[in-house]
Chain A
Amino acid sequence: GQQVQQSPASLVLQEGENAELQCNFSSTATRLQWFYQHPGGRLVSLFYNPSGTKHTGRLTSTTVTNERRGSLHISSSQTTDSGTYFCGMPNYNVLYFGSGTKLTVEP
């Protein structure tokens, strides 16, 4: 079946530090979708992008589909960035998710 691996499983940062979250997937996907979920909250789409790089504020998503990997970079982390980040790989429209990276940003 489709497999999506995320690393690290958890990450603790001090406010102001940068974070790099990784996503590796098993099939030749044409794009990845990154989500943020606050505990008890909904999945909020951060990026939906094909191969290449996209920026939004302090977030940068890079997808290299021919190498079956993607990354989410968070610069100058803030306590409000704490939560779980998921990457989703679409396959025939269905999203296959990794197990998520739980990010904790301490003041």
Chain B
Amino acid sequence: DAGVTQTPRHEVAEKGQTIILKCEPVSGHNDLFWYRQTKIQGLELLSYFRSKSLMEDGGAFKDRFKAEMLNSSFSTLKIQPTEPKDSAVYLCASSLWDREEQYFGPGTRLTVL
């Protein structure tokens, strides 16, 4: 079974651009999570989906961040417009609905100039 996959692995954007990050969860997993990792803030939740329904939206990220589950095996995270403070590693994770054990993808390192 393939693990969680994320593309691209690296992204460089100019301030004000729109970027879209992609994630494919482990096959058969019902829960999908987006987290952001920075040295200062650590790991923070951006969004949580269960079977394509948005369950939780990180309060601090609502205005320019939008995550979607296009189907049960594909999710996107759109940042619009990007700002330099968005530079971070964006992580996607998935789990089965009845187990809280999460499996993480390799992450997308975003640099906003």
Residues of A within 8 A of B (CB): 31, 33, 35, 41-45, 48, 86, 88, 90, 92-95, 97-100
CB within 8 Å for A43 and B104 given contacts A86-B43, A94-B45, A97-B42: yes
Contacting pair B101 A94 (CB below 8 A): no
Interface residues of A: mostly helix, strand, loop or mixed? strand
Contacting pair B42 A88 (CB below 8 A): no
Contacting pair B42 A99 (CB below 8 A): yes
Interface positions, chain B 61-113, Cβ under 8 Å from A, are 91, 93, 95, 99-107
Q: How far apart are the CA atoms of A90 and B93 in the complex, in Å?
A: 13
Does B24 make an interface contact (CB < 8 A)? no
Q: How far apart are the CA atoms of A95 and B50 in the complex, in Å?
A: 14
Contacting pair B106 A42 (CB below 8 A): yes
Q: How far apart are the CA atoms of A90 and B45 in the complex, in Å?
A: 12
Q: How far apart are the CA atoms of A41 and B101 in the complex, in Å?
A: 19
CB within 8 Å for A45 and B42 given contacts A93-B48, A93-B55, A94-B56: no
Query: Please, which residues of chain B bring their CB within 8 A of the CB of A86?
Result: 43
Contacting pair B107 A42 (CB below 8 A): yes
Q: How far is the CB of A42 from chain B (nearest CB, A)?
A: 4
Q: How far is the CB of B42 from chain A (nearest CB, A)?
A: 5
Contacting pair A42 B105 (CB below 8 A): yes
The one of A42, A44, A90, A97 that contacts B100, using a Cβ cutoff of 8 Å: A90
Query: Please, which residues of chain A bring their CB within 8 A of the CB of B56?
Result: 92, 94
